[in-house]
């Protein structure tokens, strides 16, 4: 057992240059594979960025923008980022403004409904009392077979007519 170990040690010490080469080659191969994967990953991400930015409506690539007459360089991704920020702000503002409009409409409706409920109650009361007066006056007219001022007053009131000047 010990003899075998010694033999292996000697072989390693004897073939040192060769072994170093193998180790370096292995590391190189590992790094090469890593780099290839990283590149592929980066290309996929760049393609994704292009696609996302195109969807948002601005290019991802660096570009030059004219502000008035002055050409201004925009770094890669800046326009796209601003665009996305604008869209997010737009969405937030829109939702808030819409909620405000809806809330205001609901408040207005509630107020109207309350006012109308009061008007309906008053109208119903007025109708009931006008009808009662009309019935009393009509019974009197039936009894006396004669229409007096009361009957016509009750009638004008029931029909919502203005009282005559005479």
Partner 1 sequence: MPGPAREVPVIVKVKDTPPAELLRCPEAPEGFPLAEIGQLSTATRAAAIRIGKAMGVNAGRLRRLVNWLQPDTCRAPAAAPAATTKAPG
Residues within the interface to partner 1 (CB under 8 A):
58, 65, 79, 82-83, 86-87, 89-90, 93-94, 97-98, 100-102, 104-105, 112, 115-116, 119-120, 122-123, 126-127, 129-131, 133-134, 137-138, 141-142, 145-150, 152-166
Q: Which is nearer to partner 1, 2 or 145 (CB)?
A: 145
Q: Would you say 84 and 59 are in contact if contact means Cβ atoms under 8 Å apart?
A: no
Q: How far is the CB of 72 from partner 1 (least distance, A)?
A: 10
What radius of gyration, in Å, describes the C-alpha atoms of the chain?
Answer: 47
- Min dist CB 39 to partner 1, Å, is 32
Tokens representing 107 are 């408040």
The helix/strand/coil state of 165 is: coil
Q: CA-CA distance, 149 to 116, in Å (whole number)?
A: 34
Q: Tell me how far, at minimum, the Cβ of 112 lies from partner 1, in Å.
A: 6
Q: Distance from CA of residue 127 to its chain's centroid?
A: 50
CA atoms within 13 Å, Cβ hemisphere of 65: 11
What burial class does residue 146 get, using C-beta atoms within 10 Å of its C-beta: 0-12 exposed, 13-18 middle, 19+ buried? Answer: exposed
- Paired with 66 in beta bridges are 71
**Nearest distance in Å: CB 48, partner 1:** 22
CB of 49 to partner 1, least distance (A): 18
- 34 or 55, CB closer to partner 1? 55
Closest CB to partner 1 among residues 19, 115 = 115
Report the residue number, 41 or 135, with the smaller CB distance to partner 1: 135
């Amino acid at each position: 057992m010990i003899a075998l170990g010694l033999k292996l040690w000697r072989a390693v010490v004897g073939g040192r240059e060769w072994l170093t080469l193998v180790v370096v080659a292995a590391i190189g191969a590992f790094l090469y594979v890593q780099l290839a994967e990283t590149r592929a990953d980066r290309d996929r991400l760049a393609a994704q960025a292009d696609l996302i930015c195109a969807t948002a409506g601005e290019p991802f690539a660096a570009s030059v923008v004219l502000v008035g007459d002055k050409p201004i360089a925009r770094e890669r991704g800046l326009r796209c980022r601003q665009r996305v920020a604008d869209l997010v702000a737009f969405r937030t503002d829109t939702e808030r403004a819409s909620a405000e409009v809806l809330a205001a409409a609901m408040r207005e409706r509630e107020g109207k409904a309350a006012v109308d409920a009061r008007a309906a109650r008053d109208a119903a009361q007025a109708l009931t009392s006008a009808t009662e007066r009309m019935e009393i006056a009509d019974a009197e007219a039936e009894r006396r077979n004669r229409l007096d001022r009361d009957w016509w007053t009750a009638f004008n009131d029931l029909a919502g007519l203005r009282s005559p000047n005479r």
